[in-house]
């Protein structure tokens, strides 16, 4: 037994392992060193017994603290591997120093293997034999390559238009449509806008603007609603729009007194064009309290009852502009000029001419006005017609081209007119000079005015004075 103990103790010392006896001997040496320092201090100075005892107690306590610290450090930080070598020790480092970068356990527990077999921790590749699944690329990844992800589709997101902005964007579209009359362009513009649940508002705004305009504008609006139905607007949207218009009639009549009758015509035209369902009028029977709405619904019912066969009410707004027959336009212009000769109201004549909406046919008005001057008796008609043409010229209602064409037509037909009016040439020359003096026609137009035969002079030697 003694031999085993000696062998065990010798093996520990050979391996560099410090024992408790070694620690105790080291503490005694420290204490003996302290006593030598104390003896040296006694030689140099004379201490009292109390000071000597106090100093000796301090040295003993210091030696015990060193003993406890060294024993605890050796017991917890040093461990042996299976081969008997000190685990984690660097061969080049001082004896007993532990490598702080070692991943193995330093508590003396476990086998010293890495955690989770190398699959745990940050920045590791995972366990051996682990198969990774395909992951979706993260756009926020610094290594994300957009070109390597295939074709990229960019979707344009248009925010929904607010009710306040809807009127600002719809009014210009409708006003431009009244000028060009192209419903396809309106469809393209509306597709670019995100009307959302307020798209029925477009129909009500278009009808409201047409009520303040002309009959041709209302005809264009009815065509627009018919073309948009089933494409951008459903029958439900159209029904909501006209229902809103019926509720707003008390406000609409302030600007347009005939709004109830006009709205009734819109409803009848919409039902005939299959924009509104046939049961639209039946939904309001016995449920209308507003007198204006009742007038509009009665007007629509009367127009629909007049058609035995359900066809489009194309003429509900009349035939406007260039679609009218030429004879009808000539008759309207003759009536306009005759009323002007009786009343002398230039503004009323201008309003009637604008309502005809035929700016390309204004040369007919000039032609008829000049013919009336040639057929009239006295100078009153010539002065009144000159005043009317001068007003149309200054306001731009009749352009230079239309004025020249009207006078040129009279020049060409003057020989035929002179058969009924013998003095047509002289009257024509007088009227042309008057119009030129008032800046109604140009000098070139005056110079091409035809004359009847050779101009007669007073005498051969009068210096070229023309006989009046």
| pLDDT (tens digit per residue) in 184-198 | 999 998 888 888 788
Residue 344 lies in a domain: yes
Say whether both 293 and 203 belong to one domain.
yes
- Domain shared by 196 and 290, yes or no: yes
The pTM score is: 0.48
Which class for 120: exposed (0-12), middle (13-18), buried (19 or more C-beta within 10 A)? exposed
For residue 431, the model assigns a pLDDT of 93
Q: Are 329 and 297 within one domain?
A: no
Give the span between the Cα atoms of 93 and 96, in whole angstroms.
Answer: 8
Q: Residue 233 burial (CB < 10 Å; 0-12/13-18/19+)? A: buried
Comparing C-alpha atoms, which of 355, 362, 361, 360 is closest to residue 214? 355
271 has a pLDDT exceeding 80: yes
Tell me the C-alpha distance between 403 and 365, whole Å: 9
Structure-token pair, residue 143:
């290594």
Q: How many domains does the chain have?
A: 3
Our measurement of the distance from residue 30's CA atom to the centroid of its chain's CA atoms, rounded to an integer in Å, reads 90
Q: What percent of the chain has pLDDT over 90?
A: 25
Highest mean predicted confidence (pLDDT) among 59-68, 152-161, 245-254:
245-254
Per-residue pLDDT tens for 423-449? 889 999 999 999 999 989 999 999 998
The reply to whether 70 falls in a domain is: yes
Lowest-confidence region among 18-32, 246-260, 441-455: 18-32
- For 329-353, give one letter per residue: b (16+ CB within 10 A) or e: beebbbebbeebbeeeebeebbebb
For the segment 208-232, what is each residue's pLDDT rounded down to a tens digit?
Answer: 999 988 888 888 899 899 999 888 8
- Claim to verify: residue 333 and residue 215 sit in the same structural domain: no
Provide the token pair at 70.
């060294």
Crossing angle, helix 215-228 and helix 200-211, to 10 degrees? Answer: 170
Residue 273 corresponds to which tokens in the numbers above? Answer: 């064009």
- pLDDT for 35 equals 53
Based on the domain organization, do 245 and 333 belong to the same domain?
A: no
**Helix pair 259-272, 235-247: axis angle to 10 deg:** 170
Residue 117 lies in a domain: no
Last residue of a domain, one of 305, 331, 348: 305
* pLDDT digit string, tens, across residues 53-93: 888 888 888 888 887 777 655 555 544 444 444 444 455 55
CATH for 339 = 1.25.40.180
Does 386 map to a domain? yes
Task: Let me know whether 298 and 408 are in one domain.
Answer: no
Domain that holds residue 169: 163-305
Do residue 280 and residue 180 come from a single domain?
yes
Query: Which band of pLDDT confidence, cut at 50, 70 and 90, is reported for residue 176?
Result: very high
């Amino acid at each position: 037994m003694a031999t085993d103990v000696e062998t065990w103790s010798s093996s520990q010392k050979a391996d560099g392992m410090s024992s408790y006896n070694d620690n105790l001997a080291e503490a005694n040496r420290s204490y003996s060193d302290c006593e030598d320092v104390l003896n040296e201090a006694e030689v140099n100075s004379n201490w009292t017994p109390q000071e000597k005892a106090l100093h000796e107690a301090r040295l003993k306590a210091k030696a015990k603290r060193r003993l406890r610290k060294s024993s605890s450090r050796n017991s917890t930080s040093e461990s042996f591997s299976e081969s008997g070598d000190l685990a984690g020790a660097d061969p080049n480092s001082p004896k007993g120093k532990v490598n702080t970068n070692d991943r193995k356990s330093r508590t003396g527990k476990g086998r010293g293997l890495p955690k989770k077999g190398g699959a745990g921790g940050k920045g590791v590749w995972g366990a051996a034999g682990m198969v990774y699944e395909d992951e979706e690329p993260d756009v926020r990844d610094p290594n994300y390559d957009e070109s390597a992800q295939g074709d990229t589709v960019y979707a344009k997101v248009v925010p929904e238009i607010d009710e306040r902005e809807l009127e600002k964007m719809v009014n210009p579209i409708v006003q431009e449509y009244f000028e060009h009359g192209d419903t396809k362009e309106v469809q393209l513009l509306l597709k670019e806008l995100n009307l959302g649940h307020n798209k029925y508002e477009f129909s009500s705004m278009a009808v409201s603007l047409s009520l303040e305009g002309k009959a041709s504008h209302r005809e264009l609006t009815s065509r627009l609603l018919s073309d948009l139905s089933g494409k951008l607007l459903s029958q439900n949207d159209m029904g909501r729009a006209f229902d809103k218009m019926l509720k707003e009639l008390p406000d609409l009549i302030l600007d347009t007194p005939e709004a109830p009758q006009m709205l009734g015509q819109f409803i009848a035209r919409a039902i005939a064009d299959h924009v509104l369902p046939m049961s639209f009028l039946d939904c309001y029977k016995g449920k209308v309290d507003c007198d204006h709405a009742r007038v509009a619904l009665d007007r629509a019912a009367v127009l629909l009852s007049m058609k035995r066969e359900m066809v489009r009410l194309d003429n509900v707004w009349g035939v406007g502009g260039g679609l009218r027959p030429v004879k009808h336009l000539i008759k309207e212009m003759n009536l306009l000029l005759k009323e002007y000769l009786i009343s002398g109201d230039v503004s009323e004549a201008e309003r009637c001419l604008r309502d005809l909406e035929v700016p390309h046919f204004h040369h007919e008005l000039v032609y008829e006005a000049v013919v009336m001057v040639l057929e009239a008796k006295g100078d009153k008609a010539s002065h009144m017609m000159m005043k009317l043409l001068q007003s149309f010229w200054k306001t731009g209602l009749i352009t230079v081209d239309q004025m020249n064409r009207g006078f040129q037509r009279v020049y060409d037909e003057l020989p035929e007119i002179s058969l009924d009016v013998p003095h047509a040439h002289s009257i024509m020359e007088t009227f042309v000079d008057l119009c030129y003096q008032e800046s109604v026609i140009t000098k070139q137009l005056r110079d091409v005015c035809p004359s009847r035969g050779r101009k007669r002079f007073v005498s051969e030697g009068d210096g070229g004075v023309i006989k009046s």
